[in-house]
């Protein structure tokens, strides 16, 4: 039955392109369609099928797009920063520092909508989009730093990490400079 209906509808679609369509309402309320006049049938006008044409692809960077189209275009775009580095550089050594400046270098600059997270020793520092942080005081040992930049859809577009060493000789170290001599009172 379904197959006959599909064939009938398919033939009606083809026939409407070439001829008038006739319909007759049966006693039980069902309708009979034909491309030829039928007893008790009336000619009807069949509207053409609904069609859709995709809009032409706009040039990239077009900001006059409706928000839905802009969102779809941005979601398909995969962006990665050309440079994503941290200072101090990997394996850099600091001796007796009072502080250590940690900096994120991005090329190009941080894009609007991207979220940057800077971590020092596994803990987020500063706040969202903090690109520099000063460690003070600095404990001796190995320190790790990392940065992650995610776009507004949560996709990572940059990540980098580094470790550096802080050396602070003990008070008893033979290489430690002696404290300054007190000035004589005079």
Between 58 and 153, the more confident residue is 153
Note the CATH number of domain 83-167.
2.60.40.10
What is d(CA 161, CA 89) in angstroms, rounded to the nearest whole number?
A: 9
Task: Return the percentage of the chain with pLDDT > 90, whole number.
Answer: 34
- Residue 15 pLDDT class (50, 70, 90 cuts): very low
What is d(CA 179, CA 152) in angstroms, rounded to the nearest whole number?
A: 54
Domain residue limits, the chain: 2-44, 83-167
pLDDT at 17 (0 to 100): 52
Mean pLDDT of the chain: 81
Query: Could you give the dihedral angle defined by the CA atoms of residues 75, 129, 131 and 167, in that order, rounded to the nearest 10 degrees?
Result: -110
DSSP state of 97: -
Residue 8 has pLDDT above 60, yes or no: no
Element (H, E) at 34: strand 31-34
pLDDT in tens, 58-115: 555 556 777 777 766 666 667 888 989 999 999 999 998 999 999 999 999 998 889 9
What is d(CA 32, CA 30) in angstroms, rounded to the nearest whole number?
A: 7
Close Cβ partners of 111 (under 8 Å, ≥ 6 residues apart): 79, 151
Q: Do you find a cis peptide bond into 35, omega within 30 degrees of 0?
A: no
Task: Return the percentage of the chain with pLDDT > 70, whole number.
Answer: 76
């Amino acid at each position: 039955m379904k197959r006959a209906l599909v064939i009938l509808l398919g033939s009606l679609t083809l026939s409407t392109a070439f001829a008038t369509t006739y319909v007759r309402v049966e006693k039980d309320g069902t309708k009979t369609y034909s491309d030829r006049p039928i007893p008790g049938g009336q000619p009807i006008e069949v509207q053409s099928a609904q069609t859709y044409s995709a809009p032409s692809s706009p040039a990239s960077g077009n900001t006059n797009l409706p928000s839905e189209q802009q969102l779809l275009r941005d979601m398909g775009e995969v962006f990665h920063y050309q440079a994503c580095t941290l200072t101090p550089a990997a394996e850099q050594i600091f001796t007796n520092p009072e502080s250590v400046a940690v900096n994120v270098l991005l090329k190009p600059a941080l894009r609007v909508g991207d979220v940057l997270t800077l971590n020092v020793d596994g803990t987020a520092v500063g706040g969202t989009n903090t690109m520099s942080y000063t460690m003070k005081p600095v404990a001796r040992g190995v320190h790790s730093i990392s940065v992650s930049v995610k776009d507004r859809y949560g996709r990572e577009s940059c990540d980098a990490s580094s470790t550096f060493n802080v050396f602070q000789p003990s008070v008893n170290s033979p290489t430690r400079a002696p404290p300054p001599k007190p000035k004589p009172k005079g």
